[in-house]
Amino acid sequence: MKSKALLFFILLFIVSSCNSYRTGKIITSGSVIQTAFHKKINYEKLQNWIIITAKVNNSDKEYRFLFDTGAVSVVSSEMAKELGLKNKAENDVGSSNSHRKKTVFTTMEKINIEGIDFEDIGAVIIDFDTSPEIKCLGAEIDGIIGANLMKLAVWQIDYIAETLEFADNQTKLEIDANNVYKIPFTHNRQGSPKVTFPILGKKVKVTFDTGKTGGIGVNRKQFGKFNFENDSIQMVKGIGQTGAGVFGVVTDTSFLVATNQIKIYDLPLDTVIFSTAKKSGSLLGNTFLEDYKVTFNWESKIISLEPQVESKLDLEGFGMGYTLKEDKLIVSFMYENSPAQKANIKLGTQVISVNEHNFEDLTIDSFCAMRKEKLLPDDIEVIQLKYKLPDSDEVKSIELRKTSLF
């Protein structure tokens, strides 16, 4: 299975169970006007996210939404103001990076996706300005289409064709009966699909989350007292900023593990890479799912996976992640024994340049553009890095060569 081990991955917003009757009613409401429908749309791929457009409350404007099975529906504070969406309730919600915050709930009277009208869809109003990474995402989208809307239809994602198909009945979608693996799921109140399966002999509950750009990540607490620094485990340890959510960033110690001890029902798997940290959510994201054509059916509570490409392990990298801080590109994450750590690059190091790209004076716009284009494309094997160590004005230069992180 592929692993974007080099990339600083973002853990996106999910809502915890609603405690009050009022917010629970908002999140569980919703219907579809049309009784029979079948639509197919092309989606935009943005840094391994799925982006679609929709009209809201009879507006002529096409709003951009992240398609996120791991979240409740979300509207930005700007979009809520533009549409005059009213405050219907307030309650605590949580993100996949373990932060919680009292948040405003509202209702979108109508969301029109390719001519199909979803009514009375509950949503959370969010300010996409909690971290540079989330601000970059907020510059690209107006909100999130979450599981509380998706559960009103059957949805099929073709990651190869970059199409999204949805219908009132699964019989209208093409599924190869001779090449499909059916995964039963449960779901929480908002509808996010959860699957329980063993990893390293421990049963873990994981949300199938199209809002996560990476592969499998599991909260370390699900493993009890399991020692990930055991010599028999093929792993690499990392420390620093492990994620950014709508309520802030998280600093943690994490482990990247390669194992053949993952069993998701009868799905054939060889060696799979997963990450684990104490403050992370337990999520399975697009880097795993993109090897399949995926169908989510909330009526049958089955996720259908049709293999499309052969999975490949990606174990090589430079071993560091980065963020924007005070108009500077700063090293915010590091894997042990990686090329970056062996070069004595430390957390807090300022990156001056990578090859011909200079990052001495960054704005949020140039940082977002850099993230969109990828600082370290997959085909780069060697980089020339100029940097300043923390508390130093001396500019140093070094060549880093991509190597195995294990």
CATH number for the domain that contains residue 29: 2.40.70.10
Q: Which of 289, 307, 325 is the last residue of a domain?
A: 307
Whose CA is closest to 250, among 143, 95, 138, 124?
95
Residues in the chain: 406
Mean pLDDT is lowest, of 98-107, 186-195, 334-343, for 98-107
Asked if residue 16 is part of any domain, the answer here is no
Tell me the per-residue pLDDT of 253-312, one tens digit each, with 9 for 90 and over: 999 999 999 999 999 999 999 999 988 889 999 999 999 999 999 999 999 999 998 877
Whose CA is closest to 40, among 145, 152, 157?
157
Q: Are residues 337 and 293 in the same domain?
A: no
Q: Which of 127, 150, 171 is the last residue of a domain?
A: 171
Q: Are residues 158 and 213 in the same domain?
A: no
Helices (H), 277-381: 286-289, 339-342, 364-373
Asked if residue 143 is part of any domain, the answer here is yes
Read off the pLDDT of each residue in 148-175 and give the average, rounded to a whole number: 98
How far is 185 from 182, CA to CA, in rounded Å?
10
pLDDT for residue 154 is more than 50: yes
Asked if residue 282 is part of any domain, the answer here is yes
Q: Are residues 34 and 54 in the same domain?
A: yes
Q: Are residues 155 and 249 in the same domain?
A: no
When mean pLDDT is compared over 12-16, 20-24, 158-162, the highest value belongs to 158-162
pLDDT given for residue 20 in this prediction: 66
Residue 156 pLDDT grade (very low, low, confident, very high; cuts 50, 70, 90): very high
C-alpha pair distances (Å), 206 with each of 96, 199, 352, 396:
12, 11, 39, 43
Tell me the per-residue pLDDT of 209-257, one tens digit each, with 9 for 90 and over: 999 989 999 999 999 888 888 878 899 999 998 766 655 666 789 999 9
Backbone φ, ψ for residue 142 (5° rounding): -105, -15
Read off the pLDDT of each residue in 343-366 and give the average, rounded to a whole number: 92
Whose CA is closest to 9, among 275, 194, 227?
275
Q: pTM (2 decimals)?
A: 0.90
Q: Are residues 207 and 232 in the same domain?
A: yes
pLDDT given for residue 191 in this prediction: 94
User: Please, what is the average pLDDT of the chain?
Assistant: 88
Task: Answer for the pair 104, 131: CB distance below 8 angstroms, yes or no.
Answer: no
Asked if residue 217 is part of any domain, the answer here is yes
pLDDT given for residue 15 in this prediction: 45
Give all strands of the β-sheet with 154-158 in edge-to-edge order. 38-42, 163-167, 154-158, 292-297, 302-307, 181-184
Residue 92 pLDDT grade (very low, low, confident, very high; cuts 50, 70, 90): low
Asked if residue 77 is part of any domain, the answer here is yes
Q: Are residues 215 and 290 in the same domain?
A: yes
Residue type at 33 in one-letter notation: I
Q: Say which residues have a Cβ less than 8 Å from residue 367's Cβ, sequence separation at least 6.
A: 132, 136, 324, 329
For the chain, percent of residues with pLDDT exceeding 90? 67
For the chain, percent of residues with pLDDT exceeding 70? 90
pLDDT for residue 1 is more than 50: no
| E-state strands within 88-233 | 89-94, 100-113, 116-126, 143-145, 154-158, 163-167, 181-184, 186-187, 193-199, 202-208, 216-219
Tell me the per-residue pLDDT of 40-76, one tens digit each, with 9 for 90 and over: 999 999 989 999 999 999 899 999 999 999 999 999 9
Q: Are residues 187 and 250 in the same domain?
A: yes
Q: Say which residues have a Cβ less than 8 Å from residue 296's Cβ, sequence separation at least 6.
A: 69, 150, 154, 155, 156, 193, 208, 303
How far is 70 from 50, CA to CA, in rounded Å?
13
Asked if residue 2 is part of any domain, the answer here is no
pLDDT given for residue 8 in this prediction: 35
Q: Are residues 269 and 199 in the same domain?
A: yes
How far is 283 from 140, CA to CA, in rounded Å?
23
When mean pLDDT is compared over 15-19, 24-28, 43-47, 164-168, the highest value belongs to 164-168
pLDDT given for residue 90 in this prediction: 79
Q: Are residues 28 and 164 in the same domain?
A: yes
Read off the pLDDT of each residue in 388-405 and give the average, rounded to a whole number: 93
Mean pLDDT is lowest, of 7-16, 29-38, 181-190, 366-375, for 7-16
pLDDT given for residue 36 in this prediction: 97
Which range marks the domain in which residue 340 is found? 316-404
Residue 17 pLDDT grade (very low, low, confident, very high; cuts 50, 70, 90): very low
pLDDT given for residue 252 in this prediction: 81
Asked if residue 245 is part of any domain, the answer here is yes
How far is 49 from 394, CA to CA, in rounded Å?
38
Task: Answer for the pair 69, 296: CB distance below 8 angstroms, yes or no.
Answer: yes
Element (H, E) at 21: helix 21-28
pLDDT given for residue 7 in this prediction: 34
C-alpha pair distances (Å), 158 with each of 133, 146, 161, 209, 304:
27, 18, 6, 15, 12
pLDDT given for residue 11 in this prediction: 32
pLDDT given for residue 379 in this prediction: 81
Q: Are residues 48 and 163 in the same domain?
A: yes
Q: Are residues 151 and 191 in the same domain?
A: no
Q: Are residues 356 and 278 in the same domain?
A: no
Three-state secondary structure call for residue 74:
strand
What is the tally of structural domains in the chain? Answer: 3
